Amino acid sequence: MLSRIFSCVLNGLDGSTTDVEVDISNGLPALNIVGLPDTAVKESKERIRAAIKNSGFEFPMKRITINLAPANTKKEGTHLDLPMALGLLDAAGVIKNDSVKDFAFIGELSLNGKINRVTGILPLVIALRNNGFNKIVLPDENAAEGAIIKDVEIYSFSNLYEIVQFFKGEIAAAPVQRKLIIEHNEKNDSAEDFSEVVGQEGIKRAFQIAAAGGHNILMIGPPGSGKTMLARRFPSILPDMTYEEAIEVTKIHSVAGLLTNYSSLVTTRPFRSPHHTISSIALIGGGRMPKPGEVSLAHYGILFLDELPEFQRNVLEVLRQPIEDEVVTISRINGTLTYPSKFILVASMNPCPCGYYGDSTHQCTCSPPQIKKYLSKISGPLLDRIDMHIEVFPVQCSELQAEQGSKSSLELKQNVNAARTIQLQRYEKEGILFNSQLKPKLMKKYCKIGNAEKELLEAAFNKLGLSARAYNRIIKLSRTIADLNGCERIQVSHIAEAIQYRNLDRKFWNP
């Protein structure tokens, strides 16, 4: 007897429907799985056999062939256990219900018949919905994640026996409720606030600009000046995530297996801070079974690299392409995967090995060759891709003792949200979200400047020896400053402020 059950497989963040065809015929008892299964799928035959027997059903002692169609694409993951087991029971005449063909199934089986949680549920559910499936069966522990998606009915079960009883009409089950899950996960606020940072008003202004326009930022300063403290409070002033952004971020975290049993939608912007010993594969993504790296896990959020020169140079150089293209392409012998990487790069560093070059209160003990060698770990092309280079000075004792409080993150965020709203409305039909994503064609349309602004830019270009990329980034930065100030047109003051955020490399790169 032949049975056909539907499921899905992943290729990066994209899913494709898989038909699980099961045929039971006379012959020597055997269970064969065909259709390019990987090792995990091949091993499922033992899990299926034990799960069916331990759930109280009889395992057919006949020749069983399971085909995973289309047969020319590789099938990976243990989530095909459940559809294969149900296909086998359907072919054996246990279920006897044609409505099973209206459902798609995802789940891993334990030997006792329990349905285990799997990774990548969100992109799998989205792919199934896009292919016309609006009823999907998932493990209980994945129900909250799958129920995020609109126009889909999610049914969750804890074991194989319950599913069979459901399709035999012996028990009832209702779709998982979507609304309550999302409301529960939206209650997540950052505990770190800019009001805790004393002084550094100029740096806070720079972070406000970076948050409003999605600009990369590099802080240079001696130890104890507050670089890490400022960076860790940066997420508290980032614009609120839209539903579409939250879905895209959750898809990446789902594939990476970072969602807990009780979380569904990621509603706070990611903050990733890898250690400086990280490898290039861990940063960019890859591996034998390619997974998203830190640049993708920071999608629509922040990638914070503390003590930038301590990272290996070859690791830093792989950041060039994701910063520029906002995607990461991983090529392997079995195919090519693409992960998104629209992140804000926040980096910090000391100006020299001892950390006190240029500090008025401490004597630097480094020689010029040592300083040059230390700073040369960061290449010019990478530095050129960072929009803002700002110098962080130590806080004075009088500032620490001052009773007057600093602006809170909420106050700073209000201006950021206002500027981001302007950009969303402006670029509604352009396919971008913020100013740092502007391409040359769109810059000519939305970043028009007058003669006075052009003269200032030309003087800065010639005097500072700027590259064409740095020139364009100053214009994008000026556009963001104008948006924060509520100005429709870029003015000289906006250009001047943007230029000052590009001057630190001149001081420190020529010790």
3-state secondary structure of 14: strand
| Residue 424: partners with Cβ closer than 8 Å, 6 or more residues away | 433
Residue type, 436: S
Contacts of 482 (CB under 8 A, 6+ apart): 488, 489, 490, 491, 494
Q: Judge if 336 and 405 occupy the same domain.
A: yes
Residues 79 and 202 reside in one and the same domain: no
Q: Which of 124, 150, 182 is the endpoint of a domain?
A: 182
Percent with pLDDT over 70 in the chain: 92
**Within-domain flag for 21:** yes
pLDDT recorded at residue 178: 66
Specify the pLDDT at position 277.
94
What average pLDDT does range 430-435 have in this prediction?
A: 89
Residue 168: inside a domain, yes or no? Answer: yes
**pLDDT (average), residues 232-241:** 91
Percent of the chain with pLDDT over 90: 56
Residues 340 and 428 occupy one common structural domain: yes
C-alpha separations of 367 from 220, 313, 354, 379, 505 in Å: 18, 21, 10, 20, 18
Q: Is the pLDDT of residue 372 over 90?
A: no
Output the average pLDDT for the chain.
Answer: 88
pLDDT at 186: 42
pLDDT of residue 199: 77
Residue 394 lies in a domain: yes
Same domain, 83 and 217: no
What is the model's pLDDT at position 504? 57
Cα–Cα distance list, 127 to 13, 62, 105, 124, 334 (Å) = 9, 34, 13, 5, 21
Amino acid at 329: T
pLDDT at 259: 81
Give residue-wise pLDDT tens across range 488-497: 999 999 999 9
Read off the pTM. 0.87
CA distance 341 to 507: 31
- Between 87-101, 244-258, 401-415, the lowest mean confidence (pLDDT) is in 401-415
In the sheet where 388-391 sits, what is the strand order? 271-272, 302-305, 344-349, 217-220, 388-391
Condensed to tens digits (0 to 9), the pLDDT of residues 457-483 reads 999 888 888 888 889 999 999 999 999
Those residues whose C-beta lies under 8 Å from the C-beta of residue 129, and which sit 6 or more positions away, are: 149, 151, 152
Q: What is the CB neighbour count within 10 angstroms for residue 453?
A: 21
Same domain, 225 and 171: no
β-bridge pairing 302-305 and 271-272:
parallel
How does residue 399 score in pLDDT terms, banded at 50, 70 and 90? low
CA distance 383 to 407: 30
Residue for token digits 């392997």? 332
Expressed as residue numbers, the domain containing 250 is 194-433
Residues 171 and 198 in one domain: no
In a domain, 14, yes or no: yes
> Which of the pair, 195 or 86, is modelled with greater confidence?
86
The amino acid at 51 = A
Is residue 104 situated within a structural domain? yes
User: Pairing relation of β-strands 14-25 and 327-332?
Assistant: unpaired
pLDDT at 13: 87
Q: What is the pLDDT of residues 151-203, one digit of tens each?
A: 899 999 999 999 999 999 888 888 887 654 444 344 444 468 888 887 788 89
Do 331 and 404 lie in one domain? The reply is yes
Long-range contacts of 449-452, Cβ-Cβ distance < 8 Å, separation of 24 or more: 449/475, 449/478, 449/490, 449/495, 450/489, 452/492
> Residue 446 falls within a domain, yes or no?
no
Looking at 115, 149, 182, the residue that finishes a domain is 182
Read off the pLDDT of residues 348-364 as tens digits, 9 standing for 90 and up: 999 889 988 877 788 88
* Residue 501, in any domain of the structure: no
Domain count, the chain: 2
Answer yes or no: do 206 and 326 share one domain: yes
How many angstroms separate the CA atoms of 392 and 306, rounded? 14
Per-residue confidence (pLDDT) for residue 57, from 0 to 100: 94
Residue 219 belongs to what H/E stretch? Answer: strand 217-220
Given a contact cutoff of 8 angstroms between Cβ atoms, the answer to whether 12 and 80 are in contact is no
Single-letter amino acid, residue 480: T
Say yes or no: 200 and 149 in one domain: no
Please check whether residues 143 and 236 belong to one and the same domain.
no
70: preceding bond cis by omega (within 30 degrees) = yes
149 vs 152: CA distance, rounded Å: 6
Q: Are 155 and 14 contained in the same domain?
A: yes
Task: Find all residues with CB under 8 Å of 39, minimum gap 6, and list them.
Answer: none
CATH of the domain at 265: 3.40.50.300
Top-confidence residue, 405 or 205: 205
Q: Output the pLDDT for position 181.
A: 45
Q: Where does a domain end: 411, 433, 455?
A: 433
Whether residue 56 has pLDDT greater than 80:
yes
Q: What average pLDDT does this structure show over 384-399?
A: 82
Same-domain status, 271 and 128: no
Question: Domain holding 168: CATH number?
Answer: 3.30.230.10
Q: Give the whole-angstrom CA distance, residue 486 versus residue 490.
A: 10
**HEC-encoded secondary structure of 289-308:** CCEECHHHHCCCCEEEECCH
Residue bearing the bigger pLDDT, 266 or 344: 344
**Contacting residues for 282 by C-beta, under 8 A, at least 6 apart:** 274, 293, 294
Whether 497 is in a domain gets the answer: no
